[in-house]
């Protein structure tokens, strides 16, 4: 009987244009076989016959509703370059939000589509109210990251409040890699800036972001970034550009803050910062601790040791319990910020 169903499905699909086909796929009575056949018809369109962007959005939602996640990679590849065309729909926000939820079943495919949201937003074609998750991370990614951090052989709990915990992490860096990072940062130190702080009364330190060609080619950078991402069960490409931070005067500090991103464009491009790994490059004997007010925890800097925590809850929403600060010190303190994002490709940011 299955072959008869497939034949009937093929006959039903044959005369339909893209939008009519997509609307047909969204009908509640459609079977899984029908949704698969219709979606594959759209995905198989040759480059000389480009698919309608709105039809691809609707087909993605239909496939997701029928839990046919294996169809989404082809749809993502077709849709990503053309997503901004969907804004011609009078229900643009609803269409884009549903599309985001459809692709959220898989972080890799969602990253592809999310970047096209960012591109559409840059040209004014996608408003912030259509942005997927609105600052959160996909829940399946967030939950997996929290599990990985807690279970990783290199981590040990330093303190916890309910389901939020801060961990020590060993083996993220060795002395040779630390020296290489310091060498790369040598000519790149600039005054730090904190989001929304025009007076620099919130953060008084220096930073060096390793974005230059030498840093991009550095094996030491790759090793540290890969180890940091691995604590959260994610690939190296999920680790943002490494940023060194230096506190070099008794007045240097960074008041309580969260590492989560607030700028919608950045969240769309690389996903939310699901986790932070802070690697200390030297011992600090007096002050300079990283303090977590919600836990009443202070972590003293120890050379080549790291502290790690999740910035989001298991549902992907930013976790206010992750607020932390750098306490003042009379000594020089140098560390590396490794921010791990929800999507692959964050290493280019």
pLDDT tens track for 107-122: 566 666 666 666 666 6
Mean predicted lDDT score pLDDT of the chain: 84
The domain locations on the chain are 2-131, 140-348
Is this structure's pTM higher than 0.95?
no
pLDDT tens track for 244-288: 999 987 666 578 999 999 887 788 778 899 999 999 999 998 889
Nearest alpha-carbon partner for 246 in 333, 187, 162, 181: 333
pLDDT (average), residues 67-71: 83
pLDDT (average), residues 59-78: 83
Residues 233, 275: Cα–Cα separation, whole Å = 11
Helix (H, G, I), strand (E, B) or coil at 317: coil
pLDDT at 203 over 80: no
Plot region of 332 (φ>0 → left; ψ -120 to 50 → alpha; else → beta): beta
Architecture of domain 140-348: Sandwich (2.60)
Residues 177, 276: Cα–Cα separation, whole Å = 19
Distance from chain centroid for Cα 316 = 10
pLDDT tens track for 146-175: 999 999 999 999 999 999 999 999 999 999
pLDDT interval class at 183 (50, 70, 90): very high
pLDDT of res. 59: 87
């Amino acid at each position: 009987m299955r072959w008869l169903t497939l034949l009937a499905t093929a006959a039903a699909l044959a005369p339909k244009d893209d939008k009519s086909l997509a609307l047909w796929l969204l009908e509640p009575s459609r079977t899984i076989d029908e949704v698969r056949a219709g979606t594959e018809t759209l995905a198989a369109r040759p480059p000389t016959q480009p698919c309608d962007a709105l039809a691809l959005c609707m087909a993605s939602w239909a496939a997701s509703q029928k839990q046919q996640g294996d169809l989404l990679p082809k749809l993502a590849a077709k849709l990503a370059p053309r997503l901004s065309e969907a804004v011609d729909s009078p229900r643009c926000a609803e269409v884009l939000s549903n599309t985001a939820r459809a692709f959220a079943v898989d972080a890799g495919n969602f990253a592809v589509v999310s970047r096209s949201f960012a591109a559409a937003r840059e040209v004014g074609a996608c408003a912030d109210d259509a942005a997927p998750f609105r600052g959160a991370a996909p829940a399946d990614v967030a939950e997996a990251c929290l599990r990985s951090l807690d279970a990783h052989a290199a981590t040990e709990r330093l303190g916890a409040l309910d389901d939020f915990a801060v961990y020590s992490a060993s083996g993220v860096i060795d002395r040779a890699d630390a020296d290489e990072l310091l060498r790369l940062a040598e000519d790149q130190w600039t005054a730090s800036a904190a989001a929304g702080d025009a007076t620099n009364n919130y953060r008084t330190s220096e930073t060096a972001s390793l974005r230059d060609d030498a840093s991009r080619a550095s094996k030491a950078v790759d090793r540290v970034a890969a180890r940091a991402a691995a604590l959260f069960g994610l690939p190296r490409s999920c680790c943002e550009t490494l940023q060194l931070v230096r506190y070099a005067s008794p007045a240097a500090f960074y008041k309580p803050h969260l590492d989560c991103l607030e700028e919608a464009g950045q969240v769309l491009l690389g996903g939310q910062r699901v986790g932070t790994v802070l690697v200390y490059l030297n011992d600090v004997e007096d002050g300079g601790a990283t303090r977590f007010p919600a836990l009443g925890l202070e972590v003293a800097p120890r050379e080549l040791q790291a502290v790690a925590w999740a910035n989001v809850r298991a549902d992907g929403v930013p976790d206010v319990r992750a607020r932390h600060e750098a306490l003042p010190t009379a000594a020089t303190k140098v560390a590396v910020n490794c921010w791990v994002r929800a999507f692959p490709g964050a290493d280019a940011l």
